[in-house]
Structure 1
Amino acid sequence: MDAVARSHSTLPLWIGTSVALALIAAAILVPVITGIDPYVNSFPPLHAEWMPRIGWGTVPAIAVAVLAARSAVGLAARLQWDALLGAAFIGGLVWMLSLAFVDGGSGIGAILASKYEYLPTAERIDDVGAFLDDFIARIPIGSDGNWATHVAGHPPGATLFFWLLFRLGLGSWVSAGLLIILLAATAPLAVLTALRRLGAEDAARRAAPFLVMGPAAIWMATSADAMFTMASAWGLALLAIAATATRTRAMVAWSAAAGAVLGLCVFLSYGLPLLGVLAVAVLFLARSWWPLPIATGAALLVALAFGLGGFWWWEAFPVLVERYYVGAGGIRPPEYWIWANLAVLAVSAGPLVGASIAAAATRARPFDGWRRVAVVLTLVAAVVIMLADLSGMSRAEVERIWLPFVPWLLVGTALLPEPWRRWGFAGQLGFALVVQHLLFTGW
């Protein structure tokens, strides 16, 4: 390939990355220039404050970033599969902890004890049946004893997760925060497993560094949405295992497990039914639809269990929509957030997400094998993001809300040429360090 051809082949990657960076710059500058109030903390489009600082985790974070930039791409290609999964878990864990400790010990999870979060409510639950039975009635902002912001804004499964932590003796924000980080570190393993089961081990190895380390770790380290990300990733991985199982009994068992986990996801966040679009993509890539009715049945059993307990999802959602628009959703200007959300995504996923999507959208032949898997999953994830954005129910704070979809968007990094993957990965790490050290995100 001559120099002109190489330049042309990478042009979409430059354009995609440039668009991501331009969106970030525009979303920062437009409120300053126009005076529009996005109604978030003091550094829109992120729900963050300008707070340059260094902390306990600064030196470890820089050291981890330098080491990863030098060796991660090569190691991902060379390691035995089990060793790769182990390295991915440890690497992600160390990266999240080092970034969190930039804020000292409180960075591990102090935000979880905020009055807006789940822990204070979970601590007061002494009767799960009564909690579920009263849940919908206490969603409206004007109701007697209305729920805190995040409790009201999510189905009860999110709060019950923290209630369970209390019952296990893990109810402090330190314990809960550390557990969330441990769970979050398994999310890349789930995506890698799904890719391999779909016949795309090469894609898994090429994308692995981007799935394990990047700016998303800033929010994965401390938010409940990291737990949602872990659950959704494993639900889709279980579905991939089911769809590629060679024995009927194994297919049925894995399908039921996938349906149960994905069904639980629907009761963690009102946005996670969109996982159904990715689930269909997984079955399409596996060329097997047998798991669909089994997984659907298992998911419906989860919904039935919550319903018999007193919470029917479809009754709660309209009530939640009403509260959302009475509150922040009604005052955050849609003409800003409809595109600024995408800028926030580019911060959370890292600017190279633009190149990832561009690579998938413009992929030339050969379009088969692992490339087909990477293209389909990346583009379907992009469609899911657009559906979430156009719903009007995601105005601001999508740096954490859309975390479950970020790994699947970054699968497209497998399609990047090696220089782009090496330098782009280093850029992702540097971008994460800058964001964490200049902005206080709370999470």
Structure 2
Amino acid sequence: MLTTQAQPRQDSAAFPRADRITTALAAALVIGSITAGLVLNLTDTPVQAEAAPLYALWQPHLGPGTPAALAVAAAVILHGPRLAATLAWRRLLAVSYAAATLWTFSLAMIDGWQRGLAGRLTAQAEYLTEVDGVTDIPTMLREFTGRILDYQPDSWTTHVSGHPPGALLMFVWLDRIGLGGGGPAAIACILAGALAALAVPVTLRTLGQESAARTAVPFVVLLPGAVWIGVSADGLFAGLTSTALALLAIAVTTARQGTAAACGLGAGAVLAFGCYLSYGLVLIAPLALAVLAVAARRHPAGLRGWLRAAGRALTAALIAAVAVVVAFTAVGFWWLDGYHLVVQRYYQGIASERAYDYWVWANLAALLLSAGPAAAVIVRRVLVALPRDQSAYVLLPAAAALSIAAADLSGLSKAEVERIWLPFIVWLPVGALLLPAASRRGWLIAGAITALTVNHLLLTIW
């Protein structure tokens, strides 16, 4: 595995003019979306989100998680960059995962145990309301598409109908192993979502970018999107898919054939299963291609040499992915049928009342509130660097931005993207190495303030 890396050219100023302009434009986007949302909600053209661009309720409050969230934010801001730069790698990963878990749990506890955690996934529209009714998994899968459309006696609840059956299966399996109920499900989402704080830096380091990996760690840990990782199934999706990409990176770079095959099987299975967790996770493909592109580009023998070296891993990944698709199809769930019915169901609900010409740009404001203020500057710097630099810390956030753009333009992501796009959002901090070193702590502060402000001013919904 190669570990040498080129360092991006650093600006001499901590906050250069281009970054100031980008930040001002991002702030204007957020303020404009809030203002437009308020105006539209007060007229005859509501945007179906009281606290647009976020799907939440205006409800200023403090909670038992407030002191802990403040303490975690302060600790990461004050000590995170130093520890990320100096700790031994395995110890850093352990600290990163623990800090991300604590940050997410603390934010959720601002709303209290029942409202912030245990009750999140038991609401009428959520997954757990359907778990008890699943007594035969093959039958559920075979009959799944017949219950997607609304206005019929046995229609699935909103979240179950809006996703492939893999999402419901996750919670059914938890119930089967004795972890049923809202509390265990919420904790599972947090623990799985925090895996991104491991998977993102592992992917970077595996692709030869250890400096970028260490720089990204505090940003992934303090991601404002943790407000929605705790608790939503989308947080779980983000953790699983980021882990799959880390496994893919290991599979196609390691010289150990057994490791390559095992990680390839894991990556292929989880990436394919991701498409049965959420239809939108087919857009993980650009990120997977970015991982492969960086690995191939860095191989000393070129593309042909890399293909020979990574052939076992790629074959294993393909076999595992096909096996997942075949298994779901054989039982009776055809993905394309589910997708077409979900599009119909989408417009049976409030999505039909959400104006595309508002949400197509207000979604980006919600993205910034979930990804953090640094995301706008990182994306600008990535686009500037892209023509001359195809390093992992450039290609991965570029691929995430491409996936987000495709989702936004599709018209099937109108509102609620602060959580729906979490599997892509966790990859934007990868470009933190492009930020001037003197500005990074300031961006961490801005991200923490964003998360704390959102969680204390608003009551987020699912």
**Length-normalised TM-score, structure 1:** 0.95
Match of 2:381 in 1: 359
Tell me the SS of whatever aligns to 1:32: helix
Partner of 1:66: 74
Which residue of 291, 296, 302 corresponds with 2:324? 302
**Could you tell me how far apart the structure 2 residues matched to 1:29 and 1:266 are?**
36
Counterpart residue type for residue 185 of structure 2: A
Alignment partner for residue 88 of structure 2, among 80, 86, 109? 80
CA contact (8 A) 2:14 2:436 kept: no
Q: Which residue of 2 aligns with 1:410?
A: 429
Partner of residue 226, structure 2: 217
CA distance in 2, matches of 1:66, 1:234: 27
CA shift in 2, pair 1:349/1:38, >3 Å: farther
| Amino acid in the other structure paired with 2:230 | A
1:434 counterpart = 2:453: yes
**Counterpart for residue 203 of structure 1:** 212
The aligned residue for residue 303 of structure 2 is none
C-alpha displacement of 1:36: 6.4
For residue 443 of structure 2, what is the aligned residue in structure 1?
424
In the TM superposition, what is the alpha-carbon distance from 1:241 to its structure 2 partner?
Answer: 0.5
Against the structure 1 CA distance between its residues 197 and 333, is the aligned structure 2 distance closer, same or farther, given a 3 Å change threshold? same
Q: Contact 1:341–1:389 (CA<8 Å) still a contact in 2?
A: yes
Matched, 1:109 2:103: no
Higher alpha-carbon deviation: 140-149 or 385-394: 140-149
- On the 8 A contact 1:157/1:267 being kept in 2, the answer is yes
Residue of structure 2 equivalent to 1:181: 190
Segments ≥4 residues shifted beyond 6 Å: none
CA drift of 1:330 comes to 1.7
What amino acid does structure 2 have at the position aligned with 1:146?
S
* Alignment of 1:313 onto 2:335: yes
Q: Which residue of 2 aligns with 1:348?
A: 370
CA contact under 8 A between 2:360 and 2:408: conserved in structure 1? yes
Q: Which deviates further from its counterpart, 211-220 or 101-110?
A: 101-110
Alpha-carbon distance change, 409 to 114 in structure 1, aligned in 2, over 3 angstroms? same
Aligned-partner Cα distance in 1 for 2:15–2:155: 55
SS at match of 1:326: coil
Cα offset, 1:7, TM superposition = 4.9
CA–CA distance in structure 1, aligned partners of residues 357 and 402 of structure 2: 20
Please give the secondary structure, in 2, of the residue aligned with 1:393: coil
* Distance in 1 (alpha carbons) for counterparts of 2:279 and 2:317: 19
Matched, 1:24 2:30: yes
> Could you list the per-position Cα deviations for residues 167-210 of structure 1 after superposition, in whole angstroms to 9, with x for gaps in the alignment?
11111101111121112122210111111110011101011111
Amino acid at match of 1:385: I
From 250, 275, 280, the counterpart of 2:284: 275
Kept after mapping to 2: 8 A contact 1:17/1:353: no
Q: Does 2:235 align with 1:229?
A: no
Kept in 2: contact 1:112–1:177 (CA 8 A): yes
**How far has the Cα of 1:98 moved from its partner?**
1.2
Counterpart AA for 1:180? C
SS class of match (1:387): helix
Q: 5 Å matches for 1:234-253?
A: 234-253=243-262
C-alpha deviation, 1:14, in angstroms? 2.2
* Equivalent pair of 2:373/2:443 in contact (CA under 8 Å): no
The Cα of 1:162 is off from its aligned counterpart by 0.5
Q: Residue 194 of structure 1 corresponds to which residue in structure 2? A: 203
Tell me, yes or no, if the aligned pair for 2:127 and 2:168 is still in contact at 8 Å: yes
1:9: how far off?
Answer: 8.0
Separation in structure 1 between the aligned mates of residue 94 and residue 235 of structure 2, nearest angstrom: 19
**C-alpha distance after superposition, 1:404-438 (max 9, x if no partner):** 00111121112111121111101111111111100
Q: Secondary structure at the match of 1:49?
A: strand
Contact 2:37–2:51, Cα closer than 8 Å, also in 1: no
Cα displacement (A) at 1:212: 1.0
Number of residue-to-residue matches in the alignment: 436
Q: 1:366 to 1:72 in 2, by over 3 A?
A: farther
Matches within 5 A, 1:314-329: 314-329=336-351
Residue segments in structure 1 that go unaligned for 5+ positions in a row: none
Partner secondary structure for residue 103 of structure 1: coil
Distance 2:39 2:188 in 1: 42
Distance 1:31 1:302 in 2: 42
In the TM superposition, residue 276 of structure 1 has moved relative to its aligned partner by: 1.2
User: Mapping of 1:369-384 within 5 angstroms?
Assistant: 372-384=391-403
Change beyond 3 A, Cα 1:366–1:336: closer
What one-letter code is carried by the residue in structure 2 that aligns with 1:326?
Answer: Q
- How many angstroms does 1:38 deviate by? 4.6
Deviations 1:48-90 (A, max 9, x none): 0111111111111112212221111111111110111011011
Q: 1:48 to 1:195 in 2, by over 3 A?
A: same
Q: Is residue 2:63 matched to residue 1:94?
A: no
In structure 1, C-alpha distance between the alignment counterparts of 2:339 and 2:414, rounded to whole Å: 17
Q: Distance in 1 between matches of 2:82 and 2:209?
A: 18
Structure 2 spans left out of the alignment, 5+ residues: 1-10, 297-305
Instruction: Give the root-mean-square deviation of aligned CA atoms.
Output: 1.8
Contact 1:263 1:299 in 2 (8 A): yes
Cα pair 1:16 1:357 within 8 Å, conserved? no
| Contact 2:193/2:240, CA 8 A, preserved across alignment | no
Is the Cα–Cα contact under 8 Å of residues 189 and 236 in structure 2 kept in the other structure?
yes
Equivalent residue letter for 2:381: A
Note the C-alpha offset of 1:225: 0.6
SS at match of 1:362: helix
Structure 1 pair 330–265 and aligned structure 2 pair: CA distance change class (3 A): same
* 1:97 match: secondary structure: helix
| Amino acid across the alignment from 2:373 | P
